[in-house]
Each structure stands twice: as structure tokens, then as C-alpha cells.
């Protein structure tokens, strides 16, 4: 039985536009379950253990950049190394990803935002219908973090495909869900560079002695993710 896993995550909220939350990001990470990624997962677990975390710690990239929550006691090199471990996991593993960035200023209420996401997700499935139908089963993983996304995922995938199963995921159980979180964060950073600019914590995290944060992101991160993009 050929099975495709799709891990879904989001960044943003359905509230009014605010300076700290002008965009809503939706991301997918796709993985053919017959492709063994155990070795790559082991590297993540080993890296976490070496930095004082449990092997099943769920990496949250936003707090990692801002030095919040579990990462408030880590210095900058340690936080950067954890971020890089997750980027390398996506780069080395046989996975692909897709994301959309929606402007909340252009989509002024929840209904408009959900409708726009439904259209984009439906269009992606239709454009790749033969691919999605080639699997015996397509398993969708989402953590049910926002009910609007839970409803959207169930309705759109089941409207277009007959081989779908939707499951609730716990972030600590799947590094691929954490990869979807990474995709959201990098998509948001790309959008901020294009529009409102990076925050101080983001500039501090990504800038190097040679490159600005914007240049370092484009060279070291965005190009990596673009090579793994699905559906373009």
C-alpha cells in the first residue's frame, strides 16, 4: 500500500490586522512513507540531547528565534544550531513542501481568509490530481490548533479526493510536523522582507559578520527551501 503523509501547520491568527500579525501562513510538508528517513530523524534527536533537551522535544522555530519559552536560557549560537538542524533535516530528507502567504489587510475578515485558503488548497489538489490519486491512501496530519483550519482541511481534501484520512498530530511525535512549522516561519520571514521588514530579534538571529539577515536568509535558507517546493 502506497501512502503519502501530509503535515499541515499555520502561522498567524484570524483576528484583526495588527503590526505584529499582518500575514497568515499555511504550509504543507509531503512525505512518501516508503522513503525511510530514520537516519535524518536520529540526527535531530541526537542534536537535541546534546543541547539538554529530550529526544522528542518539539522544536518551535518562532520562539527559538525570539529566545522565548524553552529557549530563553540558550545563547545565540546554540539557538542557531538547533534551527540549522531542522533546516538540514528538510534539505537531506526526501520530502517536499508548499506554502501560501495571505495578507490579512487584503482579506479583512475570517470568512474571506478561509475562502482564499480553500481556493488555493483546492487549486493545488486539482493541478496535481493525478499525483494525489496515485496513492492508496493520503494521510493528513494536523494538530487541530485552529478549528477553521481543521474544518478547511477536512472539507477541501475530502471534496477532491476519495483516499484521504485526517489524523490529529502531537508536534512532539513527528519531526515532519516541526518541518511544517519551519516552512511557516521561513515563508513569513520572506514575506516580511518583501513588505514590512524584519524585527530586531530576526535580524539579530540571522545576520552574520559577512551578510545582513536578509542576505543570509536568501542565500542559506530560502534557496534550500525553494529546491524542495512541491507543485511549482
Domains identified in the chain and CATH numbers: 3-226 (3.30.420)
The total number of residues shown for the chain amounts to 232
pLDDT above 90 (res 18): no
- Distance CA(53)–CA(28), nearest Å, equals 26
pLDDT band at 117 (very low <50, low <70, confident <90, very high): very high
Give the pLDDT confidence of 132-159 residue by residue, as tens digits: 999 999 999 999 889 999 999 999 999 9
- Looking at per-residue pLDDT, the higher value among 163 and 21 belongs to 163
What's the confidence (pLDDT) of residue 173? 76
Least confident range of 59-73, 129-143, 166-180? 166-180
- Pairing verdict, β 3-11 and 23-32: antiparallel
> What nine digits make up the cell of 149?
483550519
Give φ, ψ of 109 to 5 degrees: -145, 175
pLDDT band at 109 (very low <50, low <70, confident <90, very high): confident
pLDDT band at 192 (very low <50, low <70, confident <90, very high): very high
- Distance CA(100)–CA(142), nearest Å, equals 16
Amino acid at each position: 500500500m502506497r501512502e503519502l503523509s501530509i503535515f499541515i501547520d499555520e502561522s498567524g491568527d484570524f483576528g484583526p490586522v495588527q503590526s505584529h500579525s499582518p500575514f497568515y501562513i499555511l504550509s504543507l510538508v509531503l512525505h512518501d512513507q516508503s522513503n525511510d528517513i530514520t537516519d535524518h530523524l536520529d540526527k535531530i534527536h541526537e542534536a537535541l540531547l546534546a543541547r539538554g533537551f529530550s529526544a522528542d522535544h518539539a522544536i518551535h522555530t518562532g520562539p527559538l528565534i525570539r529566545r522565548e519559552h524553552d529557549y530563553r536560557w540558550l545563547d545565540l549560537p546554540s539557538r542557531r544550531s538547533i534551527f540549522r538542524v531542522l533546516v538540514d533535516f528538510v534539505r537531506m530528507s526526501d520530502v517536499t513542501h508548499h506554502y501560501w502567504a495571505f495578507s490579512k489587510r487584503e482579506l479583512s475578515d475570517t470568512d474571506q481568509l478561509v475562502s482564499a485558503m480553500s481556493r488555493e488548497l483546492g487549486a493545488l489538489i486539482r493541478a496535481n490530481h493525478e499525483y494525489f490519486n496515485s496513492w492508496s491512501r493520503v494521510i493528513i496530519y494536523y494538530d487541530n490548533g485552529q478549528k477553521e483550519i481543521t474544518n478547511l482541511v477536512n472539507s477541501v481534501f475530502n471534496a477532491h479526493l476519495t483516499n484521504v484520512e485526517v489524523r490529529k498530530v502531537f508536534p512532539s511525535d513527528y519531526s515532519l510536523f516541526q518541518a511544517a512549522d519551519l516552512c511557516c516561519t521561513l515563508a513569513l520571514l520572506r514575506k516580511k522582507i518583501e513588505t514590512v521588514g524584519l524585527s530586531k530579534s530576526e535580524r539579530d538571529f540571522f545576520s552574520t559578520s559577512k551578510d545582513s539577515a536578509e542576505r543570509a536568509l536568501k542565500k542559506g535558507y530560502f534557496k534550500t527551501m525553494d529546491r524542495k517546493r512541491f507543485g511549482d
